[in-house]
Structure 1
Amino acid sequence: MTKVRVYVTYKASILDPEAQAIKGATSKMGYSEIKELRMGKYFDFEVEADESTAKEKVAAIANELLANPNMETYTVEILGDN
């Protein structure tokens, strides 16, 4: 069993309103050193396959289902074997 994590975030060219709201709040709280903030989500999978196959399968799922290719990008990370 291989654990795989997929991170999905907005592309850099897409406005991230929730992240902008959080950034504004951090500024009001006195954290003026925060200059950029991006939000995202992640999905954890447990796949019955070796690492290479698991990464390939999960990347296909991310590309077809989890991320909107017009607005989002994704990264697949192998977390290890169970």
Structure 2
Amino acid sequence: MKVLVTVLPKPSVLDPQGAAAAEAIRHLGLTGVGRVRIGKVIELELPDSTPDSEIHRIAKDLLSNPVIEDYSISK
């Protein structure tokens, strides 16, 4: 099974890359864009029998820093 793990900075954490991207969008003359956050997407190929608990463990303990990042999982 293919699993996507999306990792983004927590809303309370400063995201200078996101702020720079938002500013660049405004400089293009585009309006209506609010906050921009930049993160990463990791694609995992796992056996269909992999329990959700193991997927969450991989995401929490290996792919993200739970102090400053949130993650979400899509199958």
> TM-score, normalising length from structure 1?
0.83
Percent of paired sites with the same residue: 32
What's the offset of the Cα at 1:35? 1.6
Alignment-mate amino acid for residue 28 of structure 1: H
Aligned-residue CA RMSD (Å): 1.3
Q: Could you say which residue in structure 2 is the equivalent of 1:70? A: 67
Does the residue aligned with 2:70 lie in a helix, a strand or coil?
strand
Q: Could you say which residue in structure 1 is the equivalent of 2:18? A: 19
* Deviation beyond 2 Å, 4+ runs, structure 1: none
Alignment-mate amino acid for residue 31 of structure 2: S
Count of aligned pairs between the two proteins: 75
CA deviations 1:8-28 (Å, max 9, x no partner) are 000000011001001001101
Alignment-mate amino acid for residue 49 of structure 1: D
Q: Could you say which residue in structure 1 is the equivalent of 2:48? A: 49
